[in-house]
Amino acid sequence: MGTTLSFAAWMIVSRWEDRVAELEFSLRANNVASALQTGLNGYFDNVVALRALFESSAQGVSRSDFAIFADQLLPGQTAILGVSWIPRVMRDERAAHESAAVGEGLVGYHVKTVTAEGGMVVSPQQDEYFPVYYTTEGRSANQVYGLNLGDTEIRKQPLERARDGNLLAASENFVLQSGTADRRGFFVVLPVYRRGLPHEAVDDRRRNLLGFVQGVFQSDAMVETILGGFKSRVDLYIFAPGTNPSGLPIHVFSSKLRQTPSEPKPQAALNTGLHWSGELKVADIQWKLIAVPFGGAGTASDAWLLLIVGLLLTGMVGIFMWRSRRYALYLSRANRKISELARTDTLTTLANRREFLDQLAASFAAGNRAASPFAVLYCDLDHFKDVNDTLGHPLGDALLRQVAERLKKTVRDNDLIARFGGDEFAVLQTDAVDVATINTLARKIIEMLATPFSIEGSEVQITASMGISLYSAQLSGPDAMMIQADLALYRAKADGRNCFRFHSSDLDLEVRERVTIADELRIALDRSEFELHYQPQVELASGRIVGLEALIRWKHPKRGLVMPSKFIAIAERSGAIVPIGRWAFDQACRQLKLWLDEGIAPETVAVNCSAVQFRGQPDLERDIADSLANSGIASDRMEIELTESVLMEVTQQHRDTLKRLRHLGARIAIDDFGTGYSSLSYLANYPANRLKIAQELMAGVDSDPRNAAVVRAAIQLARELGIEIIAEGVETQAQVNFLISAGCTLGQGYLFSRPVTAKRAGRLLRRGTIETAASQKRNEHLAAA
Ligand code: C2E
Ligand code: MG
Ligand code: MG
């Protein structure tokens, strides 16, 4: 628009300027032309004055009358080459005329004519002659005298026009006979009729013609004289008709230099561009005038300035607009990026929690309008922390990215996958028409994640647990749905991981129960609702009690005796396990002290220690040391049972804590050995005093040869490492026999005793041994021997 406006303004202004210049110029040209016309007419007035002389004199004008008159007329008039009297001489008058001329002193006067070569000869006989008789034409007057103007067309025509029209007639512009070659000019003639005779009609005029007065003019000198004083910036080209077939002007007047421009232009060239044309009346004929601005150029226009300024402004506005558009684009791109980032998990490029919840809310809104049902599959990698700790965070991140990739390949395009942070992922399954569909996807995901990953050369195996919640109109909203999925996930974890669980109303009940238990646990310690039961550990061969394991019980005012399986996990989650564990260790120490005082104390009392407590060091160390100090018990009488999972959390801190516990002198036992991870390296890293073969392994010893093999191997391993080994969950004599044959000397289990109150444990201790049917037999056998 700017460009168009600039050009439009430029065109309007320059056209307007042109128009003004044209008007101005034509005014100037008109001035020049009319000055020329006036000047020209002034010259012709001389001829008119001369005719008046001839018309006024009754007895004719003598040669001297003419000379006197001409002398008054001509001085200073350089453009007038001369004025002449040209009488009409009839054929029969010629001789008298010629002799009269000689008589008046014109030596050798004859009526003459011009030859084709330009010379002059005596005119042949004719009916009528128009010889130059009186003239003021200077040096060459002798040549001019007698020249018959009637015998060349160029001269004859003006004479006839003047005679017939009683008017001033002009010749063409031609090289003047009387002058040098470059002297161009023309003459004008005015008829003189016989006095007193009529000359109104053409016939009368022809009959009564006396002769002509003539003025000869040098055209260029005349123009220069007239216009010499002019300062109008105009070049004037003068064209006479007929004399310039090439289109070249007869004269060019340039007012600036008062000289002819170097190149006289043809008329055609002048008619283009700014020009003015007009006519110059030279007696009875018209000369053409063309004026052009001086030097041929038009007037300088300032319109281009307007154009340039306009274009510059347009350019500036354009650049500004371009820049601001770019800036706006950049801003909107940045905005888009920001909002994208706000909805994306940067590590995996999956959606993030916020985006997922938004989509879920949208699905909910659609669900309320009876659109297709959907489900949330909430997924958590099992023991991802171990991967991070053992392989390092960069590899952990790489694993998460691969998990994301696999998830993308597993779900359908219109399902949404998100990473909630850490190792938690969620899938929003659309079109979850029935449980079978969801089942299929869940199984696919679990299986797909169980396939080993290859991360920077190392193979990583991981499993996932998944909780699933289905949309139902009864759900209050997305949050409720997420809570359900979370509960189901919790269930899947509790059920041994690497599996998925649907949310159910039972789960809700369970959760409510858990929440209540967590609340109650918080006050149970203050209300002294806990007590320790003790389970003997015996020498298999003799039945001698070598130690006791303290197992906590909760004497709930309403629920009765609550077993640890019901509340330990909850206490671990709520953190209540820390004070509870502290209490248990302290209580065990006190009890041991009592038995010591009574003299019935076993060699060791074992106390279970949760991984959560272990993470809470250095409080753990301090508490243990305090309890030992308070009861005054030798530290090597207390055994701390850790599950393998504690040892699996291999961190430098754990290692140091363990070392310091050992330093304190406390014994370390690895509980439930064989149920956790197959990695045995921790046995070398954390020298334990004792391994406790897990109940689960013992249970299958009789029936499953593979279980037996594992137990045998564990026993062998412990012996080679110089670690004591004890079997848990010993329930049958067959198990005892197996253990003895495999080289395990210690056992703990219902076969010997269930966990019992401290009071009953004291009774057992006082007895010292626990008789089983077999040991009884053996003892009897020994006694008999
Ligand atoms: P655990 O340390 O492995 O304890 C052995 C569990 O096996 C005890 O269950 C015991 O009653 C049971 N048991 C013993 N012999 C047999 C047998 O022959 N057959 C069968 N089927 N079971 C047998 P309990 O007392 O219910 O304790 C369960 C778990 O709770 C314990 O497993 C231990 O990990 C944890 N726990 C118990 N007391 C405490 C405590 O004071 N602190 C912590 N942190 N955990 C404790
Ligand atoms: Mg234990
Ligand atoms: Mg155990």
Q: How far apart are CA 172 and CA 153, in angstroms?
A: 10
**Nearest-atom index, ligand 1, CA of 572:** 44
Q: Would the CB of 552 count as within 6 Å of ligand 1? A: yes
Nearest ligand, measured from the Cα of 572? 1
Nearest CA to ligand 1 atom 42: 608
Note the pLDDT of residue 9: 85
Note the pLDDT of residue 38: 92
- Distance (Å) from CA 670 to ligand 2 centroid: 9
Q: Would the CB of 535 count as within 6 Å of ligand 1? A: yes
- Distance (Å) from CA 492 to ligand 2 centroid: 24
pLDDT in tens, 170-221: 988 777 755 555 677 888 999 999 988 888 899 999 999 999 999 988 888 8
User: Could you tell me which of 164, 167, 166 has the C-alpha nearest to residue 203?
Assistant: 164
Nearest CA to ligand 1 atom 13: 729
* For residue 655, pLDDT beyond 70: yes
* For residue 257, pLDDT beyond 60: no
Q: How far apart are CA 652 and CA 13, in angstroms?
A: 89
- Distance (Å) from CA 497 to ligand 3 centroid: 19
Is the C-alpha dihedral spanning 300, 305, 307, 311 positive or negative? positive
- Distance (Å) from CA 661 to ligand 3 centroid: 20
End-to-end CA distance of the chain: 125
**Nearest-atom index, ligand 1, CA of 728:** 15
Mean of the pLDDT values across residues 337-362?
90
Q: Is 628 exposed, middle or buried (0-12, 13-18, 19+ CB in 10 A)?
A: buried
Structure tokens at 507: 């789960």
Could you tell me the pLDDT band of residue 775, with boundaries at 50, 70 and 90? low
* For residue 644, pLDDT beyond 80: no
DSSP state of 297: P
* pLDDT, averaged across the chain: 86
More confident residue, 299 or 89: 89
Nearest ligand, measured from the Cα of 673? 3
Q: Would the CB of 695 count as within 6 Å of ligand 1? A: yes
Residues 6 or more apart whose CB falls under 8 angstroms from that of 134 comprise 61, 63, 66, 67, 84, 85
More confident residue, 417 or 685: 417
- Distance (Å) from CA 388 to ligand 2 centroid: 28
Q: Would the CB of 674 count as within 6 Å of ligand 1? A: no
Q: Would the CB of 327 count as within 6 Å of ligand 1? A: no
Q: Would the CB of 584 count as within 6 Å of ligand 1? A: yes
* For residue 12, pLDDT beyond 70: yes
- Distance (Å) from CA 657 to ligand 3 centroid: 22
**Nearest-atom index, ligand 1, CA of 730:** 18
Please, what CATH class does the domain formed by 353-503 belong to? alpha beta
Residues 6 or more apart whose CB falls under 8 angstroms from that of 603 comprise 546, 547, 637
Note the pLDDT of residue 526: 93
* For residue 441, pLDDT beyond 80: yes
Could you tell me the pLDDT band of residue 649, with boundaries at 50, 70 and 90? low
pLDDT in tens, 528-573: 999 999 999 999 999 999 999 999 999 999 999 999 999 998 998 8
- Distance (Å) from CA 611 to ligand 2 centroid: 13
* For residue 677, pLDDT beyond 70: no
Bridge-based pairing state of the strands 184-193 and 174-175: antiparallel
Tell me how long the chain is: 785
C-alpha distances (whole Å) from 699 to each of 731, 743, 745 are 8, 18, 18
Could you tell me the pLDDT band of residue 702, with boundaries at 50, 70 and 90? confident
**Nearest-atom index, ligand 1, CA of 532:** 41
Note the pLDDT of residue 370: 65
**Nearest-atom index, ligand 1, CA of 551:** 38
Q: How far apart are CA 428 and CA 364, in angstroms?
A: 11
Nearest ligand, measured from the Cα of 729? 1
Out of 535, 548, 573, 608, mutate this one to test ligand 1's pocket (max ligand atoms within 8 Å of CB): namely 608
- Distance (Å) from CA 610 to ligand 2 centroid: 10
Note the pLDDT of residue 630: 94
pLDDT in tens, 591-616: 999 999 999 999 999 999 988 888 76
Note the pLDDT of residue 774: 67
Q: Would the CB of 468 count as within 6 Å of ligand 1? A: no
Number of Cβ atoms within 10 Å of the Cβ of 771: 14
User: Could you tell me which of 352, 219, 350, 240 has the C-alpha nearest to residue 287?
Assistant: 240
Q: To which residue do tokens 């646990």 refer?
A: 521
- Distance (Å) from CA 673 to ligand 1 centroid: 13
Mean of the pLDDT values across residues 747-766?
96
Structure tokens at 668: 């370390």
Q: Would the CB of 755 count as within 6 Å of ligand 1? A: yes
Picking from 229-233, 345-349, 686-690, which range would have the lowest pLDDT averaged per residue?
Answer: 229-233
- Distance (Å) from CA 564 to ligand 1 centroid: 7
C-alpha distances (whole Å) from 108 to each of 85, 143, 145, 632 are 19, 11, 10, 181
- Distance (Å) from CA 499 to ligand 3 centroid: 24
Q: Would the CB of 608 count as within 6 Å of ligand 1? A: yes
**Nearest-atom index, ligand 1, CA of 610:** 44
pLDDT in tens, 18-53: 788 788 888 888 988 999 899 999 889 989 999 999
Could you tell me the pLDDT band of residue 347, with boundaries at 50, 70 and 90? very high
Q: Is the peptide bond before 245 cis (omega within 30 degrees of 0)?
A: no
Is the C-alpha dihedral spanning 351, 357, 360, 365 positive or negative? negative
Q: Does domain 57-224 have CATH number 3.30.450.350?
A: yes
| Neighbouring C-alpha atoms within 13 Å toward the C-beta of 164 | 7
Note the pLDDT of residue 299: 54
Q: How far apart are CA 129 and CA 152, in angstroms?
A: 11
Structure tokens at 267: 């008329």
pLDDT in tens, 444-467: 999 999 999 998 888 889 999 999
CB distance 564 to 556 below 8 Å: no
**505 backbone dihedrals φ, ψ, rounded to 5°:** -70, -30
Q: Would the CB of 561 count as within 6 Å of ligand 1? A: no
More confident residue, 581 or 249: 581
Note the pLDDT of residue 226: 86
3-state secondary structure at position 128: strand
Q: Regarding the domain delimited by 524-784, which CATH topology (the fold level of the hierarchy) does it fall under?
A: TIM Barrel (3.20.20)
- Distance (Å) from CA 608 to ligand 1 centroid: 9
Q: Would the CB of 735 count as within 6 Å of ligand 1? A: no
**Nearest-atom index, ligand 1, CA of 552:** 38
772-778 contacts: CB < 8 A, separation 24 or more? 772/543, 772/733, 772/736, 773/733, 774/733, 774/736, 774/737, 775/541, 775/542, 775/543, 778/541
pLDDT in tens, 501-510: 999 887 778 7
Out of 549, 551, 672, mutate this one to test ligand 1's pocket (max ligand atoms within 8 Å of CB): namely 551
User: Could you tell me which of 129, 135, 189, 133 has the C-alpha nearest to residue 164?
Assistant: 189
Note the pLDDT of residue 472: 86
Q: Would the CB of 330 count as within 6 Å of ligand 1? A: no
3-state secondary structure at position 761: helix
Q: Is 48 exposed, middle or buried (0-12, 13-18, 19+ CB in 10 A)?
A: middle
Q: Would the CB of 564 count as within 6 Å of ligand 1? A: yes
Note the pLDDT of residue 687: 73
Mean of the pLDDT values across residues 243-267?
60
Nearest CA to ligand 1 atom 21: 729
Note the pLDDT of residue 138: 61
Note the pLDDT of residue 180: 54
In terms of average pLDDT, the best of 314-323, 425-434, 543-552, 572-581 is: 543-552
Nearest CA to ligand 1 atom 43: 608
Q: How far apart are CA 419 and CA 307, in angstroms?
A: 62
Nearest ligand, measured from the Cα of 531? 1
CB distance 171 to 154 below 8 Å: yes
Domain boundaries, the chain: 1-45+304-342, 57-224, 231-294, 353-503, 524-784
Q: How far apart are CA 652 and CA 633, in angstroms?
A: 29
Note the pLDDT of residue 160: 93
**Nearest-atom index, ligand 1, CA of 563:** 26
- Distance (Å) from CA 519 to ligand 2 centroid: 25
- Distance (Å) from CA 551 to ligand 1 centroid: 6
- Distance (Å) from CA 653 to ligand 3 centroid: 25
Q: To the nearest whole percent, how much of the chain has pLDDT over 70?
A: 90
Cα 611 versus chain centre, distance:
55
